[in-house]
Structure 1
């Protein structure tokens, strides 16, 4: 399976920069992950456009510029252990895996987790573990984490996830009480509490409790 041609890749990276993705490490990571591997069926030909696209289980693969901005806001370093809540297609986790020491990604849909595992194996990512779990509860058995990225919107930054952040750690999460009005928030755990910073408006599927059914 071939990746995008040089012209398509150049346009892809230009679109990222034009939307504010300027971190060189993030751009290099995204250049190294072929989004076309994570988009199936009739939408595959649109994999390199800056668009969210439908995937299985009623979920979406986020538009590349949003993936880049969220990754940039997370401030990942090569020593970090990262938790991603909302595996989806696996694309965001694959980008994180090129930046972090270890990535754990959880999703409530077993079908998505199985497909992501297969893709990670195909492209040779050995530092990602995909798990079927209720992401709203995090992953207590692997906590604490240096960084947590949430790819579904909560009404407030989830308490269980905040508690699983190391001191000095960062969580990036979409927050909003409706699916139309959401704000991407960066939460930094301090010695005596948390610091909150608004990044930009976004639109994500809601963060739901429990496990989902395949379909």
Structure 2
């Protein structure tokens, strides 16, 4: 099949690009390979599914380039016992890959259309440990306890303390923060007791967080 050939060639090229960056985690690469990228992009963009550039998806949202998704997941240093919270489901690709590496992933998005499509993909891939929910990610997520890792894929103007408080001690949060120059940069926050260590990582293409849940889309 043409799709199978494109997928194999795209994954092989991705592996070469990641190894050039020093990313060669076998578990991560296996999880990506087992998550058919073409299922997560609109049909007109299937040929570019494995590219490093962001692609448009439903509701005016974007799916990040596969390189960026892999790099972010690698930075999270996931373990099989981890509980992960993702703010901004988008296509669901990142959540699906993380679901293969962890005990449980709870991913939320404000767009009902994106939530429904992501849930269909999780069902198709039999990823029962990935929970997709419609929620306003700007307001925090109450009643779910604490998480080992939190990933935010929409940019805040400052590090969202409300989510940092939902981390376990030793937990890590990755979130894009928009600086005074208007550029979003991925920031890593590591919790140690009641203290937080903050490290700026790299510029990202993520868009600003928009509060309030979409009622129709």
So what's the TM-score if we normalise by structure 2? 0.92
C-alpha separation in 2, matches of 1:173 and 1:147: 11
Corresponding position: 1:94 with 2:87? no
What is the root-mean-square deviation in Å for CA atoms of aligned residues? 1.8
Give the deviation of 1:178 after TM superposition.
6.8
Which structure 1 segments of 5+ residues have no match?
none
**Deviation by residue 1:43-76 (Cα, 9 ceiling, x = unmatched):** 1221111111000111000111111111111111
Corresponding position: 1:193 with 2:187? no
Query: Alignment partner of 1:206: what SS?
Result: coil
Quick check: 2:179–2:185 contact (8 Å CA) kept in 1? no
Corresponding position: 1:147 with 2:129? no
Give the deviation of 1:152 after TM superposition.
0.8
Distance 1:213 1:162, change over 3 A: same
Partner of 2:56: 54
Quick check: 2:188–2:201 contact (8 Å CA) kept in 1? yes
State how 1:1-215 maps to structure 2 within 5 Å.
3=4, 4-177=6-179, 181-215=183-217
Distance 1:51 1:180, change over 3 A: farther
Once the two structures are overlaid, the 10-residue window that deviates more, 120-129 or 203-212, is 203-212
Aligned residues: 215
C-alpha separation in 1, matches of 2:72 and 2:7: 26
Which structure 2 segments of 5+ residues have no match?
none
Distance 1:5 1:63, change over 3 A: closer
Quick check: 1:53–1:62 contact (8 Å CA) kept in 2? yes
Quick check: 1:102–1:128 contact (8 Å CA) kept in 2? yes
Once the two structures are overlaid, the 10-residue window that deviates more, 94-103 or 129-138, is 129-138
